[in-house]
């Protein structure tokens, strides 16, 4: 091969490499963020997240929904479900609104609404088949399962379970307060963290019929006064991590996928040892590769970062400012490189870069101003739209 032809081929290959790199670094995600507010201030925002620049740009604002505290997206990414409450935690049972996601800019088309069968509905999850939506009701201390119809709309609750019990904190634990309801990775179980009872309750899930029945181990206790709020599974399905709102800690459980049984293994603090003020945990998320975990502190207004060992043990990496007041909810980009934090009373969403070697967080820029952001959900755009 002569030298001129070789140079030409090298230039072509270099150009192709640049095109491939540009396509990879220009990948974008569609992000939905709820504004937890009544009346016209309540809304679901659609934003575009650029993975290369870590910029978050507003696209759409869906109104006609009040106090949309929590969101969930169907596995097929065609439907979004949201809490809807004229008076959050009032006397009326709240509703769950079903939307069709219409287009790459996050347009939402309302399908219907169904009763959550409780008040202060605070958590939603969708099973892996997309046939069941789960809801946790904080004030009334209950959980329910609602069937999903073929068009994505919701049917009336097929299962409803009222929690009963209390724990040691007279101010916050006089009665049951279900705070999350999460489907297991194998889609056979659903776990509810109940802040008022200091328990994580296990239910066997029949997704096809949207039915719940108590598991072989009906519940496992968290440390007294912990106040379990949210839980998440490690990507390998062998661990469950629970963030405790009242005790400002994270508890690790081993998880047996076949039986649903949880075994407590570790509890670790989310706050610095010298912090003497009031703070309450809210949310936790794990990177897709299972190496790092992050949890929020409202009051200390920070994000605690942990390294996850092979056996699941947590080691604190650091505690960084959340760049806003009251960090409520977290989301991690599918590539594991960005973390988004909704600072609800701070009225902003902060974006952080995740160091892929150490897990440390660094700010990716000024937070985006948004009214009372309470929940963040990321939807992967099809390649043709990236």
Q: Kindly report, residue by residue over 246-271, the tens digit of the pLDDT.
A: 999 999 999 999 999 999 999 999 99
pLDDT band at 104 (very low <50, low <70, confident <90, very high): confident
Within a 13 Å sphere around the CA of 80, how many CA atoms are in the beta-carbon half?
Answer: 31
> Residue 137 pairs with which residues in a beta bridge?
121, 142
Q: Assess if residue 174 is contained within a domain.
A: yes
Q: Kindly report, residue by residue over 151-161, the tens digit of the pLDDT.
A: 999 999 999 99
Phi, psi of 99 (to 5 degrees): -125, 150
Q: Assess if residue 326 is contained within a domain.
A: yes
Instruction: Give me the pLDDT at residue 381, please.
Output: 61
Cβ atoms 328, 373 nearer than 8 A? yes
Instruction: Give me the pLDDT at residue 190, please.
Output: 98
Q: Assess if residue 19 is contained within a domain.
A: no
Q: Give the tokens for residue 1.
A: 């091969």
Q: CA-based angle 322:328:96, to the nearest 5?
A: 155
Instruction: Give me the pLDDT at residue 382, please.
Output: 55
Q: Assess if residue 5 is contained within a domain.
A: no
Euclidean distance between CA atoms 288 and 146, whole angstroms = 28
Q: Assess if residue 116 is contained within a domain.
A: yes
Euclidean distance between CA atoms 116 and 146, whole angstroms = 9
Q: Note down the domain range covering 160.
A: 70-332+353-367
Choose among 106, 166, 175, 167: nearest CA to 139. 175
The total domain count for the chain is: 1
Q: Kindly report, residue by residue over 347-365, the tens digit of the pLDDT.
A: 999 999 999 999 999 999 9
User: For the chain, what percent of residues have pLDDT higher than 90?
Assistant: 89
Dihedral sign (CA 186, 190, 195, 196): negative
Euclidean distance between CA atoms 357 and 368, whole angstroms = 27
Choose among 256, 286, 271: nearest CA to 354. 286
Cβ atoms 234, 241 nearer than 8 A? yes
366 alpha carbon, distance to own chain's centre: 22
Q: CA-based angle 349:350:351, to the nearest 5?
A: 125
Euclidean distance between CA atoms 278 and 285, whole angstroms = 22
Q: How many beta carbons lie within 10 A of that of residue 165, not counting itself?
A: 16
Cβ atoms 196, 174 nearer than 8 A? yes
Euclidean distance between CA atoms 352 and 303, whole angstroms = 11
Q: Assess if residue 348 is contained within a domain.
A: no
Is a pLDDT exceeding 80 seen at residue 310?
A: yes
Q: Kindly report, residue by residue over 14-65, the tens digit of the pLDDT.
A: 443 433 333 344 489 999 999 999 999 999 999 999 999 999 999 999 999 9
Q: Assess if residue 9 is contained within a domain.
A: no
CATH of the domain at 160: 2.130.10.10
Q: Assess if residue 320 is contained within a domain.
A: yes
């Amino acid at each position: 091969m002569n030298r001129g032809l070789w140079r030409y081929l090298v230039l072509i290959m270099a150009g192709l490499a640049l095109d491939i790199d540009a396509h990879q670094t220009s990948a974008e995600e569609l992000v939905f963020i709820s504004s937890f507010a009544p009346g016209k201030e309540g809304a679901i925002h659609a934003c575009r997240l650029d993975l290369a620049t870590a910029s978050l740009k507003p696209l759409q604002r869906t109104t006609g929904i009040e106090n949309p505290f929590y969101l969930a997206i169907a596995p097929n990414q065609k439907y979004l479900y949201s809490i809807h409450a004229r008076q959050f935690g009032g006397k009326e049972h709240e509703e769950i609104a079903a939307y069709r996601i219409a287009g790459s800019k996050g347009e939402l088309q309302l399908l219907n609404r169904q009763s959550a069968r409780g008040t202060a509905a605070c958590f939603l999850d969708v099973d892996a088949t997309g046939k069941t939506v789960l809801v946790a009701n904080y004030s009334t201390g209950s959980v329910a399962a609602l069937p999903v119809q073929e068009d994505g709309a919701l049917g009336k609750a097929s299962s409803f379970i009222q929690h009963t019990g209390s724990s040691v904190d007279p101010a916050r634990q006089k009665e049951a307060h279900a705070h999350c309801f999460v489907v297991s990775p194998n889609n056979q179980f659903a776990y509810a963290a109940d802040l008022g009872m200091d328990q994580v309750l296990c239910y066997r899930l029949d997704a096809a019929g949207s039915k719940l029945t108590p598991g072989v181990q009906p519940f496992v206790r968290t440390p007294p006064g912990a106040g379990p709020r949210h839980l998440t599974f490690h990507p390998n399905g062998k661990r469950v991590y629970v963030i405790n709102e009242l005790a400002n800690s994270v508890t690790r459980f081993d998880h047996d996928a076949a039986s649903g049984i949880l075994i407590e293994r570790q509890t670790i603090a989310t706050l610095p040892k010298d912090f003497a003020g009031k703070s309450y945990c809210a949310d936790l998320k794990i990177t897709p590769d299972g190496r790092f975990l992050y949890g929020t502190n409202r009051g200390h207004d920070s994000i605690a970062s942990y390294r996850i060992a092979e056996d699941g043990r947590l080691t604190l990496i650091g505690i960084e400012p959340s760049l806003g007041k009251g960090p409520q909810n977290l989301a991690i980009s599918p590539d594991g490189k960005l973390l988004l934090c909704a600072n609800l009373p701070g009225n902003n969403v902060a974006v952080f870069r995740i160091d892929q070697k150490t897990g440390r967080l660094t700010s990716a820029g000024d937070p985006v101003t948004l009214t009372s952001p309470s929940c963040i959900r990321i939807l992967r755009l099809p390649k043709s739209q990236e």
